[in-house]
Amino acid sequence: PFSFYETIGGGSGASRGMNGASGIHTHMTNTLNTPIESLESEYPLRVRCYSIRRDTGGIGKWKGGDGIIREIEILADTSTISIQSERRTLQPWGLEGGANGKAGSNSIIYSGKIHPLQAKSTVFAPRGTVIRIETPGGGGFGPPPTREK
């Protein structure tokens, strides 16, 4: 048996004079990225994808940061996966005319089929199951037509 807990960053919101950062922890600032090599060497898991979720930050004069995509394949015979996430229904809001960032999503991929998961979910996952987490982008700041190039 094993237990693994991870916080996954997302896009931070833009502010006056500054674009938001992509793939960053904005609220749990005492946590760091878990390196793929550490995860795969310590647990029966394989990281299939770890990337920036492009074009998820809200547009504006200053753009919100982009979220993250993280896919983890279960290599153990069986596992129970619990997800505690936010901003899966409501989008991170933009400010002063900036557009909202895109909401995140969670899904489980098993036997070639993608099944959406709720923001707060617990699922049974046999070997070969893939958990896909798409974190939200941050909101934009200021009206988009005035965005500086």
The pTM for the full model equals 0.91
Is residue 142 included in any domain, yes or no? yes
16-54 tens-digit pLDDT: 999 999 999 877 777 777 889 999 999 999 999 999 999
Residue 75 pLDDT: 97
User: CA separation (Å) from 94 to 18, 84, 102, 137, 141?
Assistant: 13, 23, 10, 10, 6
- Over 80: is that where the pLDDT of 130 sits? yes
Total domains in the chain come to: 1
Residue 149 pLDDT: 60
pLDDT top residue among 13 and 2 = 13
Range of the domain at 111: 36-146
Is residue 27 included in any domain, yes or no? no
Is residue 12 included in any domain, yes or no? no
- Over 90: is that where the pLDDT of 66 sits? yes
Is residue 73 included in any domain, yes or no? yes
Is residue 112 included in any domain, yes or no? yes
Is residue 23 included in any domain, yes or no? no
Is residue 48 included in any domain, yes or no? yes
Is residue 84 included in any domain, yes or no? yes
Paired strand residues for 62: 141
First to last CA, the chain: 52
